[in-house]
Chain A
Amino acid sequence: MILECKSIRKRFGDHTVVDDVSFYIAPGETYGLLGPNGAGKTTTISIVCGLLGKDGGEVLIKGQQMNTGTVSLRSAIGYVPQEIALYPELSARENLVFFGRLQGFKGPQLKRRVDEVLDVIGLADRADDLVAEFSGGMTRRLNIGVGMTHRPELLILDEPTVGVDPQSRNAILGAVERLATEGMAVLYTTHYMEEAERLCNRVGIIDHGSVIAEGTQRDLVRQIGQLDRVTIESPGALSPLVEQIEALTFVSTASAKEGQLRVLLRDGGRNLTRILHLFEDNDVEVRGVQIDVPDLEAVFLHLTGRALRD
């Protein structure tokens, strides 16, 4: 394992912010910590990076204990904080060179790595411009670039897309996907469930400092027993169809209202054609079809009774 967190705990005064959190990340895996603001994601990451002491449990990086005083293991980690931790008075290249030096790179090797990173984050043509002149999206990309200058084995990104436009967000997610494809393990915290769904092999749902569920998206959905929902729009008579559809073994319920037939069923994508056959057999016109698969938002809602962004 590249990272193992075992029962880590952290208290600030009387308030427990991280409570018995355990998870692991295998090499090449992208793991998401999904939770609302204040759930304990950043504190967990700070403990993992050795930036914050813990009150209990252990963090193992490549099997070795990681503590606040452990400096050598930090070269295995690329840390991308939530805030833009860059020098605005310096250029993109100067920022990369500076942090590259702190990672122990120098000379032609450092220059080559900086050029590579500038290419990956799409800032090669603005390399010598001051960060102060960059847009929000560009600074976010550079913020990520600084974290991966030394080609870490584990890249830790703390809400890297907060406050960026959709285009930059897409570029950031694309870059993370590429890094994961190249074999870099990624720990990604977010409160955007669509990002977790797109990037992560496994997700840990964290709330009030505890991981309340963990697994792949499908595992999590299965855990809460949620069904897919199919909505079919039609100008025809839908009521006669409801009884026939409810008779299908994979259907839980069906109802017709205001030109829409709503069906709760298992494996909506696969079983939809059998429902559509019934429309055809009864000569009822279909004008639109929509399938809603239960997502992590639904899982979170089910587990906590709150929406992710509450």
Chain B
Amino acid sequence: MGKVFSIATMELRRWLRERSNIFFVFVFPILMVLMIGLMFGSSNLRIGVVVEPGDRLGPELIDDLDRQGIEVVAISSTEAGVTAVERGELEGLLVLESSGSPRFAARPDTAAEIGTLLEASLARASIQYRVADLMAERLELDSAQSLTIVNRAAAMSPPLVTVESETVGSALFGEAETRFDLGASQQLVLFVFLTSLASSGQLILSRKLGVIRRMTATPTSSLTVLLGETAGRYLIALVQALFIVGATMFLFGVNWGSLFGVGWIIALFCLVGTGAGMLLGSISSNEEQASGVGVMLALGLAAPGGAMVPAEIFSNTMRTVAKLTPHSWALQGLGELQFRGGGVGDIMAELAVLATFAVVLLLAATLSLRRNITP
């Protein structure tokens, strides 16, 4: 096992020495997740609220905003809130003062949307105060007395209409927690496979240089060399996958769901990528050929597999075609974990299919490469 580990870690080291790999493994996927998130992702609005002492609207307003699915963030001062809006940390800021009208701040591109939303919310939250104030003025009552009457009347009012709703079928898209969730899983699948296929060039170079042959001239069996080369490519795919998961969690707060389940999908999908990379590396005659075919294959499988656009918008025929790609099964499993709160038990079918892909590809690669290695 020591020699297998030596060969594997040396392959990883070679991989990381290549500057272009650093960009394509560590920078490019994150940029893609960011771009897709910014362009297509949806997100809950975050509104900061500054409530000054003596203001009576605060609690009702916060309840109302919350009922609409808006994230309300308590802000200590107007200045801090304005800064947060300017930095894009909040979509809007509402300042509730004890005297005077409520004020709001938003960026020019969202000012109209935020303004309309807050005005409607303010109108709903303040209606009982307006009625109470009117009663106090017309009936010459105390303000507090009027408000109590209005609140009691509101509590006694029977609901005018009862609306009952029922959801039929499952949602086309699961419930994403952040705008980056979907893009992150797509890029994970796309880049793990792409990186695995790209690493085949390294294998071809080793063959061409005669290094693999030289390894077999040492007291190292062909099987050990084969296992080492396979483990090396698996390690590369694993580094790619773990980096995307870790970085998107840390940078964008992506919710991956059950990490145990994600771990299983990554472990098997990396094996699929490794098998594909090894097979490509063993049958290609040079790095250029492997690189061209690799990129074509990686993108050609990612597109129908749902790693570029969600498979949910495909036609039924295309969805059936997508099932022929390992990408589709990996994304289906990840979607179950991310958007539907599933666990390992819910993705057993996906794991079984990925394992089958991995076994078939690794077997084919081993047989093909063994012909190159074994005297």
Q: Interface on A for B, CB 8 Å cutoff?
A: 46, 49-53, 68, 71-72, 74-75, 77, 79, 81, 83-90, 94, 98-99, 101-104, 106, 130, 146
Partner of A87 from the list B2, B14, B375 (CB cut-off 8 Å) is: B14
CB contacts under 8 Å to A, within B201-237, are 206, 209-211, 213-221
- Beyond A81-B210, A81-B213, A86-B211, whether A102 also contacts B218 by CB under 8 A is yes
Known contacts A87-B10, A90-B13: A51-B213 contact under CB 8 Å: yes
Given contacts A53-B375, A89-B14, whether A84 and B209 have CB atoms under 8 Å apart is: yes
Given contacts A51-B217, A101-B6, A102-B6, contact A94 B211 (CB under 8 A): no
In the complex the two chains form, is A102's CB within 8 Å of B215's CB? yes
Once bound together, how far apart are the Cα atoms of A87 and B10, in whole Å?
Answer: 10
- CB pair B213–A85 under 8 Å, yes or no, is yes
With both chains docked as a complex, state the minimum distance between the C-beta of A3 and any C-beta of chain B, in angstroms.
15
In the complex where A86-B209, A90-B14, A90-B17 touch, is A99 in contact with B214 (Cβ < 8 A)? yes
Candidate in B7, B18, B211 with the most chain A CB atoms within 10 angstroms? B211
Q: Are A51 and B375 in contact (CB under 8 A)?
A: yes
Would you call A74 and B218 a contact (CB within 8 A)? yes
The 5 closest A-B pairs by CB, nearest first: A85-B210, A79-B217, A68-B375, A85-B214, A102-B218
Q: Cβ of B211: which chain A residues have Cβ within 8 Å of it?
A: 85-87
B226 CB, nearest partner CB in chain A, Å: 14
Select B218's contact among A52, A68, A89, A103, beta carbons within 8 Å: A103
* B-to-A contact residues, CB < 8 Å: 2-3, 6-7, 10, 13-14, 17-18, 206, 209-211, 213-221, 374-375
Which of chain B's residues have a CB closer than 8 A to the CB of A87?
10, 14, 206, 209, 211
Sample of 14 A–B contacts (CB below 8 Å): A51-B217, A51-B375, A53-B375, A79-B217, A81-B213, A81-B217, A86-B209, A87-B14, A87-B209, A89-B17, A94-B13, A102-B219, A104-B219, A146-B214
Residues in B with CB closer than 8 Å to A94 are 10, 13
Whether A98 lies near B17 (C-beta < 8 A) is: no
- In the bound complex, residues from chain A placing their C-beta under 8 Å from that of B215 are 99, 102
Residue ID in chain B nearest A106 by CB atoms: B2
CB contacts (< 8 Å) of B374 on chain A: these are 68
The answer to whether B2 touches A101 (Cβ under 8 A) is yes
Q: Which of these, A52, A77, A103, A146, contacts B375 with CB under 8 Å? A: A52
* A contact residues around B17 at 8 Å (CB): 89-90, 130
CA distance in complex: A46, B214 (Å): 11
B10–A90 CB distance below 8 A: yes
How many angstroms from the CA of A225 to the CA of B61 in the assembled complex? 115
* Distance in angstroms between the alpha carbons of A130 and B2 in the assembled complex: 25
> Which of A85, A86, A102 is within 8 Å of B220, CB to CB?
A102
Interface of A is mostly: loop
Check if A98 sits within 8 Å of B10, measured CB to CB. Answer: yes
**Residues B219 and A83 in contact, CB atoms below 8 Å apart:** no
A99–B218 CB distance below 8 A: yes
> Shortest distance in angstroms between A181's beta carbon and chain B's nearest beta carbon?
25
Q: Check B375–A81 contact: CB distance below 8 A.
A: no
| Residues of A close to B6: CB separation below 8 A | 98, 101-102
List B contacts of A75 (CB < 8 A).
218-219
Q: How far is the CA of A101 from the CA of B6 in the complex (A)?
A: 7
CA of A98 to CA of B10 in the docked complex: distance in angstroms?
8
Q: Which of B206, B214, B219 is A81 in contact with, Cβ under 8 Å?
A: B214
Minimum Cβ distance to chain A for residue B281 (Å): 16
Q: Which residues of A contact B14 (CB under 8 A)?
A: 87, 89-90
Closest A residue to B15 by beta carbon equals A89
**Known contacts A85-B210, A87-B209, then 17 further A-B pairs from the complex at CB < 8 Å, ordered by chain A residue:** A50-B217, A51-B217, A68-B375, A72-B219, A74-B218, A75-B218, A75-B219, A79-B217, A81-B213, A81-B217, A86-B211, A87-B206, A88-B209, A89-B13, A90-B17, A102-B7, A103-B219
A74/B10 in contact, CB under 8 A: no
Which residue of chain B lies nearest to A78 when distances are taken between CB atoms in the complex? B217
Query: Which chain B positions have C-beta within 8 A of A49?
Result: 217
Nearest-neighbor residue (CB-CB) of A74 within chain B: B219
In the assembled complex, the Cα of A93 lies from the Cα of B172 at a distance in Å of 56
In the complex, what residues of B have CB within 8 A of residue A102's CB?
Answer: 3, 6-7, 215, 218-220
Cβ-neighbour of A101 out of B3, B209, B375 (below 8 A)? B3
- Report the Cα distance A188→B234, complex, angstroms: 39
Q: How far is the CB of A149 from chain B (nearest CB, A)?
A: 9
Q: Which residues of B contact A130 (CB under 8 A)?
A: 17
Asked if residues B218 and A85 are in contact (CB atoms below 8 Å), the reply is no
CA gap between A130 and B375 in the complex, in Å: 30
In the complex, chain B residues whose CB is within 8 Å of the CB of A84: 209-210
CA distance A101 to B218 in the complex (A): 10
B209 pairs with A85, CB closer than 8 A: yes
Residues of B within 8 A of A51 (CB): 213, 216-217, 375
Give the nearest-CB partner of A70 in chain B: B219
For B217, list chain A residues within 8 Å (CB): 49-51, 74, 77, 79, 81
Taking a contact as CB atoms under 8 Å apart, the answer to whether B375 and A50 are in contact is yes
Residue among B3, B6, B214 facing the most chain A CB atoms (10 A cut-off): B214
Give the interface centre of A52, A90, A98 by most chain B CB atoms within 10 Å.
A98
CA distance A51 to B211 in the complex (A): 13
A103 to B215, CA, bound (A): 9
